Chain A
Amino acid sequence: MSININRYKCGYCGACVGVCPKGALELVETWIEVDESMCIQCGICDRICPVGAIEVMK
């Protein structure tokens, strides 16, 4: 189980941060930081990213 964010693809828009039910993501400068201890791998961030920069593997 893991979550990967491709920072070369990410457009640092913050949409994923807005949908994360656990508040595990944060938009810092031009990248997304994940607090893996809070992430429950629900995959919502992966689902709504406009470019597909996040990959959540269950």
Chain B
Amino acid sequence: MKDMYDVLVIGAGPGGSIAAKTAAEKGLDVLLIEKRQEIGDPVRCAEGVNKEYLKKHIEIDNSWICADLKGSRIFSPNGTKIEMAQEISGGEVGYVLERKIFDRALAEHAAKAGAEVRVKTRATGLIIEDDFVKGARLMHLGKEYEVRAKIVIGADGVESKVGRWAGIDTALKPVDIETCAQYLISGVDIDQEYCEFYIGSELAPGGYIWIFPKGEGKANVGVGLLGSKTGKFKPRPIDYLNRFMEKNFPNASIVEMVFGGVPVSGSIEKTSTNGLMLVGDAARQSDPITGGGILNAMDAGKLAGEAAYEAISAEDVSFGKLEEVYEKRWRETTGYAIDMSLIVKNCFINLGDEDLDALAYSLKEVKFERMRLFDLLQALFKANKKLLWDLRILFKDAAKEVVKNRT
């Protein structure tokens, strides 16, 4: 078996597969490994993605689309409903995917571009020489062997060890993770054109409950709680989910159970080192507000694939080079976006149920098809002045305008 490559990608989620595909398309010799025996399974996702954004990465294939959404509805603790059109609901809705098929399709694209794929193959450690990552130890069917590569890309998800093995501390604090449970339910009458979110301390402290339609009579119903709001003797995500199910879907069949953790930390200090880059959940690149991470992982995978090509062509895979060709680039785009979301998250987790109700109430009347940032800010200002103040960094210019308009 071949044991030398230009690039070794660890983990075949969306981040890893796009990285492998991009690097292979550039003519690099790529190995993509996945520890699971079935790519994409078990699912750890609610499977919502922004349509337009997804189209930038990949041609849409109906075989992995379950629902095509018009918009979303958010319910505040007292049941006040806000409705938003798809384009402005924050980017994580649009399509609901079948990730088992989607993730596999992405890995196939990588293979088609020339990458070699090995499943049921787990990285158990890195080969580090002269302070450079030079490859990894892999295990397949109980046998361990080494594979060397000029660059290793760690795309190993929330449970990432690759970064840690190279000395990058990616451990998430409880306040930096949403802990989730989800059921795929069937046999229920669910509006297939809207996704729904329920917020409030009773339903989901520091998080929300979601309902994402998945095609005829089916939906992903899940709950995410902020790790800092859970505890050994407190109810867990599965308890909150069961409670919601009993109340809202007592007769539904549960045809799949999903558990998972989503990083909501904002950008971490370091995501590369000599000979190594981290992408996607392994680099904690998911969005702190929505928990969406599919597209961010794909974006980072693409950047890392391109960066691998540039660094290898320049015969310089040092941290300095990777910082220039990968680290800087993702921080300017995704990094900026998730850090802005982190500010919003930190602000919202401190709001009580009455604040959330007041906010929802003042947003109720706004026509959401045409809502602009300006309208949102007016409403925010009406509901809670402090909130606007806390979020001022986000919309410096718009906030000035709102304040000016009121005086």
Contacts and interface: CB of A to CB of B under 8 A. Distances in A.
Interface in A22-58: 23, 26-29, 43-44, 46-52
Contacts of A51: 181, 236-238, 259
Nearest to B240: A50
A14 B230 contact: no
Contacts of A3: none
A5 interface: no
Looking at chain B, what size class is its interface with the partner chain? 20 to 34
B177 A19 contact: yes
B230 A48 contact: yes
B383 to A, nearest CB: 31
B158 A11 contact: no
B122 to A, nearest CB: 7
B236 A49 contact: yes
B173 A43 contact: no
Contact of B44 (A13, A49, A52): A13
Interface string B226-268: 0100111000111000000000000000000111110100000
Contacts of B174: 19, 44, 47-48
A50 B261 CA distance: 8
Contacts of B150: none
Nearest to A51: B238
B171 A19 contact: yes
A13 to B, nearest CB: 4
B153 interface: no
B186 interface: no
B227 to A, nearest CB: 4
B401 interface: no
Contacts, number: 91
Contacts of B261: 13-16, 18-19, 48, 50
Contact of A15 (B122, B173, B232, B260): B260
B260 A17 contact: no
Interface residues of A, number: 25
A33 B160 CA distance: 14
B259 A20 contact: no
B159 A27 contact: yes
Given A43-B232, A51-B236, A52-B236, A18 B171 contact: yes
A17 B173 contact: no
A12 to B, nearest CB: 7
B177 A50 contact: no
A28 B156 CA distance: 12
A48 B227 CA distance: 5
A36 to B, nearest CB: 17
Given A13-B44, A18-B171, A50 B164 contact: no
Contact of A17 (B44, B159, B180, B181): B159
Given A18-B171, A46-B232, A48-B177, 15 more contacts: A11-B42, A13-B258, A14-B261, A15-B179, A16-B261, A18-B170, A19-B177, A23-B164, A26-B159, A27-B159, A28-B35, A44-B174, A48-B261, A51-B236, A51-B259
